[in-house]
A and B are shown apart, each in its own frame.
Chain A
């Protein structure tokens, strides 16, 4: 049915896919392929237009495949302002990240690490490679003595502007999120400022921006996501696809919390901001997915 009269059926796509959860979408995709002999995604690709298509495409993918797809895109189109790799490596759970890497093997016949190593250079590569290779311990245990010691190391390196220092990067890339949280709390207590304020020494430095994003993604992902949505909606910066990406990737995780954070920071509910900024089927699909989370 979808297959045969596309032009007038974006509404159908929205209502069928927009309100379904991941398991249901998987079944729909499988059934479609059995019935029509074609991958639903390929069929959609032929018929839909940019923002809407991309949103539907991302939404229909399974989460591991989705992350693999986004990561692959990010390595191929990598620029020093690209945050997608940091985002995926740092906001996903250890197992989610590994599932993404496994899907990456299957989809692209190589490892994510090879591609990241191959397409990035210098300090960026140092940070990104370690981030995507990590398999962080996920327990709540925190070693306060270690937190104090590592807060000191971080502060020392940052004060010396040694932002690419091996120890600085290893702490951020290998310690558990709970441990990093404790370390950064201690950092603030001991040195008076949030680490990200200290990492803003040069607002134009893209590596510092990436470090700040890493920190945010690790300990306050909802703030990170709310911010990049805001920047995308206000057409600032280069991450225009952020709205699509965040809605599609966080919908079944923490989109509601992100929306609350967005409203807190901008005094406007996210759905209103979306209505104001987007149109047509794209808008409708975004709202469907956003609302779907409430259902």
Chain B
């Protein structure tokens, strides 16, 4: 390989999700000091030229970022081998600590897990953190979201298929009225809306979703202006669409590090649940296959690990 091609390969090895350990070993590992100096001089976003003292030093910030990329594989492995209860408990705790930008993860856990899985997560939370998840959510969140979030993490929904269609119809109407009155009484404070979303079974909510569409012609989450409610409805009624969107956002270049982490989170937590359906939905929405997109955007061991997880179950 000509040196320029090797340079390109190393640049590629460091861009995206994870790092291309193989290229680093076979290419960077064999470069002599002059080649490495060439690399440093030609990679100004990683190395700062100290003209006065005639050398190039690593940009500390980049080293920190690279650390995240190297460790992405390890984090995926650790998360994957965890008991799903511990996994969800730790994800929830982390989301709480990170603050409002991560509260979507709380909604994701509370709404896409089965009732028994969520109960398990609550048990694990007791064991790991000596508190209940609801006390921590209630005491750490002071914004308007609190009511909804506490209600969602405390839910223990009926899981049978029995649905009272009349009730679903009337609740679709209730939601419709609440949305129309949003200016007078903001939805985020509306107890009836929270009650419906936080206590009803998922099959029931699917029926409500259907009736709402018949009533107003639009999908429920389109009419909800509040981000949290949108996420809640998506997670409850159309989880594969929700996960596809999260994956799409995570698989872009140069995204925020928290968004980047959702790639690992979604794939690890859904690999054994509904990855097949998510792949299909992702393909429908974005016209490209998920494995292909991951092949393009992720690197090395991390990439191989994700692809293996996704390939499970067909």
Contact = CB atoms under 8 A, between A and B. Distances in A.
Contact of B132 (A98, A101, A118, A136): A136
B313 interface: no
A105 B119 CA distance: 14
Nearest to A174: B135
A117 B160 contact: no
A129 B146 CA distance: 15
B195 to A, nearest CB: 4
Nearest to A117: B195
B199 A109 contact: no
Nearest to A98: B119
A105 B154 contact: no
B85 interface: no
B134 A174 contact: yes
Nearest to A114: B199
Contact of A117 (B126, B130, B139, B199): B199
23 contacts: A98-B119, A98-B156, A111-B155, A113-B155, A113-B157, A113-B198, A117-B198, A117-B199, A125-B195, A130-B150, A133-B134, A133-B151, A133-B155, A133-B156, A135-B122, A135-B123, A135-B154, A137-B130, A137-B132, A138-B126, A141-B130, A166-B147, A174-B134
Nearest to A175: B135
Interface residues of A, number: 28
Interface in B144-173: 146-147, 150-151, 154-160, 162
Nearest to A133: B154
| Minimum-distance CB pairs A-B, first 8 | A133-B154, A174-B135, A170-B138, A117-B195, A111-B158, A113-B199, A114-B199, A109-B162
B154 A134 contact: yes
A166 B146 contact: yes
> In terms of DSSP, what is the predominant structure of the interface of chain A?
helix
Q: Chain B, interface size: which category?
A: 20 to 34
A139 interface: yes
B201 interface: yes
Contacts of B162: 109-110
A176 interface: yes
Tell which of A98, A112, A130, A137 has the most Cβ of chain B within 10 Å.
Answer: A137
B122 to A, nearest CB: 5
Contacts of B138: 170, 174
A170 B150 contact: yes
Given A113-B199, A137-B130, A174-B139, 8 more contacts: A101-B156, A110-B162, A110-B201, A135-B119, A135-B123, A136-B135, A137-B132, A174-B150
A138 B131 CA distance: 8
Contacts of A114: 158, 199-201
A136 B159 CA distance: 22
A125 B133 CA distance: 21
A129 B198 CA distance: 11
Interface of A: 98, 101, 105, 109-114, 117-118, 125-126, 129-130, 133-139, 141, 166, 170, 174-176
Contacts of A118: 195, 199
A109 B158 CA distance: 7
Contacts of A138: 126
B35 interface: no
Contacts of B159: 105
A117 B192 CA distance: 9
Contacts of B132: 134-137, 174, 176
Contacts of A112: 156
Contacts of B156: 98, 101, 111-113, 133
Contacts of A166: 146-147
Contact of A130 (B130, B154, B201): B154
A101 to B, nearest CB: 5
B86 to A, nearest CB: 16
A110 B161 CA distance: 10
A105 B134 contact: no
A215 B206 CA distance: 38
Contacts of B191: 125-126
A176 B195 CA distance: 24
A136 to B, nearest CB: 6
Tell which of B122, B131, B133, B159 has the most Cβ of chain A within 10 Å.
Answer: B131
A66 B162 CA distance: 23
A208 B185 CA distance: 27
B201 A111 contact: yes
Interface in B184-236: 191, 195, 198-201
